[in-house]
Chain A
């Protein structure tokens, strides 16, 4: 007796997906399982010992630093989200509804996306000459007489961290929002205009509701990138601020893997919870 056609079909699908499944198992599922396991291990100063103890979590939740750092992480995420959404929406809106020729739309869209394919580290470094004590921003402000002494908080501060986040991640808002805006039927906007709606009403009652899936996808990208970041915060704050990612990377640098793993588990739980809530508002498979 042979396999039914349906079973044969799904067998073929799984065969074609086997390379993907191998990568996902070895480099995603097993590493997460490993982190969860190690989060229950014990650590001495020089080694880690397999065990099943809750001391890493007890220490994590018992320390006031943890709460401060989590609050700081949410603060970065929220401010960055608001900035990238405002900028990203305006940019996408301009591209989708004000640029009339397809050729210009594609050209300007590509100009927005090219930095995404270049190095984040270099893009962070490139803020030094602009924000430094003797940097362009301070010299310009001083020559205009806006300030008398150079501002110290431009570089190596929370301001610099958020500026860098917005700089790095606004494209993640622009692309999905532009994508959904391009799919809005022009006739819907015409109908609204014929019905007597003004520009703002069209924006608020037609375009924004129809752009929601794109906004949601952009939100997922920006929130997860900021929540999981450790390098931007370290570099742009001059090691003066902390977020959860830095807490993990500091533990790693001290070879305190069980403690790093416990923090990582909590971070992963937080991120996945946020994503699962956001996914209730958008069906990604339908939006592709």
Chain B
């Protein structure tokens, strides 16, 4: 192997700084959330305590944190399941050219690039003018789908671009019904990618702010609750909440990645080498 060039070390140092830039602030508030009871929003630490975490568990101190967490979690699951199902169906359908496919494709791109506040405002107006109440599980749910579906679909398009259709043909030749082909051939092959789509669906919904702002109604989701806190809470309890919800996100991301890794490994171990070429 050739020796490392000087540009390697320069770029490696730059990459290290980039990671510090990405994670440093989050680590800082994680440390500061353990402030003593008299500590403030910045260093120095006035002792070390769990005071601010304890505060979070006293409902009246900070508003309806746990209610909003429950709603965000549930909404995340709803969005995740819908995103996976709709993206797979969309991905399958888009494998063939059909009249209107280009228009629909650009509609998906529009959904991805449209400023979030327009969705929030538009859906809010649409519901109020139709005499419907905005609610996180109806208008909020739909508004979030306009953000998660394009991601899910683009992932599925990428997956199906690399999909070898001869597997399906082989199954069909052996007499499998369309449903059997889907259930026993297509889904197992694209399985790991579905976990990726699910990860996007859940986390993007769980953290979504702008599209839920005017569409969640009277019951806040967690990001809305946290943003409300930034205007009137000036104690490290904000950091404690930030640390806990980031920790929760990290646990979910690790779980998704672990399942992804396991299923990819299982696939590699069980799959035959058919279609790989060499004897």
A interface residues with partner B (beta carbon < 8 Å)? 9-10, 12-14, 16-17, 19-21, 23-24, 26-32, 34-35, 38, 87, 90-91, 93-95, 98, 100, 108, 110-112, 114-115, 117-123, 125-130, 132, 134-136, 139, 167, 170, 199, 220-221, 224, 227-231, 235, 245, 248-249, 252, 257, 260-261, 264, 267-268, 271-272, 275, 279, 284-285, 288
Contacts and interface: CB of A to CB of B under 8 A. Distances in A.
A288 B157 contact: yes
B25 A90 contact: no
Interface residues of B, number: 88
How would you classify the secondary structure of chain A's contact residues: helix, strand, loop or mixed? Answer: helix
B110 interface: yes
A94 B11 contact: yes
Given A35-B125, A272-B110, A122 B246 contact: yes
A248 B113 contact: no
A127 B7 CA distance: 31
A93 B115 contact: no
Contacts of B56: none
B15 interface: yes
Contacts of B119: 27-28, 31
Contacts of A279: 109
Nearest to B244: A122
B140 to A, nearest CB: 10
Given A9-B96, A24-B111, A19 B85 contact: yes
A224 B122 contact: no
Interface string B75-95: 000000010011001101110
A160 B108 CA distance: 32
Contacts of B239: 125
Nearest to B85: A19
Contacts of B157: 285, 288
Given A10-B99, A126-B28, A167-B21, A93 B129 contact: no
Interface stretch (B61-69, B202-210, B270-278): B202-210
A90 B129 contact: no
B125 A34 contact: yes
Contact of A19 (B86, B129, B223, B238): B86
A14 B21 CA distance: 46
A267 B41 contact: no
Contacts of A94: 11-12, 14-15
A122 B86 contact: no
Contact of A122 (B15, B92, B226): B226
Interface of B: 1, 5, 7-8, 11-12, 14-15, 18-19, 21-26, 28-29, 32, 41-43, 82, 85-86, 89-90, 92-94, 96, 98-101, 104-105, 107-119, 121-123, 125-126, 129, 142-143, 145-146, 149, 153-154, 157-158, 161, 199-200, 203-204, 206-207, 209-210, 214, 223, 226-227, 230, 238-239, 242, 245-246, 249-250, 253, 257
A124 B189 CA distance: 39
Output the residue of A125, A220, A272 with the most chain B CB within 10 A.
A125
Contact of B110 (A14, A28, A139, A248): A28
Nearest to B203: A117
A268 to B, nearest CB: 6
A128 B260 CA distance: 35
A264 B116 CA distance: 11
17 contacts: A12-B93, A13-B98, A17-B94, A19-B82, A19-B85, A19-B86, A23-B146, A31-B118, A87-B18, A115-B26, A119-B223, A123-B26, A127-B25, A128-B41, A129-B29, A264-B115, A271-B115
Contacts of B149: 20, 23
B118 A267 contact: yes
Given A16-B90, A94-B12, A120-B207, A264 B111 contact: no
B129 A34 contact: yes
Nearest to A90: B14
A61 to B, nearest CB: 19
B25 A16 contact: no
A285 B157 CA distance: 8
B122 A167 contact: no
B146 A28 contact: yes
Contacts of A17: 89-90, 93-94, 104
Output the residue of A14, A38, A87, A122 with the most chain B CB within 10 A.
A122
A220 B109 CA distance: 10
Given A24-B111, A261-B121, 5 more contacts: A122-B246, A167-B21, A257-B125, A275-B113, A285-B157
A230 B213 CA distance: 12
Output the residue of A13, A98, A132, A257 with the most chain B CB within 10 A.
A13
A132 to B, nearest CB: 5
Contact of A20 (B90, B122, B142, B253): B90
A100 B142 CA distance: 43
B242 A122 contact: yes
Contacts of A16: 89-90, 92-93
Contacts of A26: 142
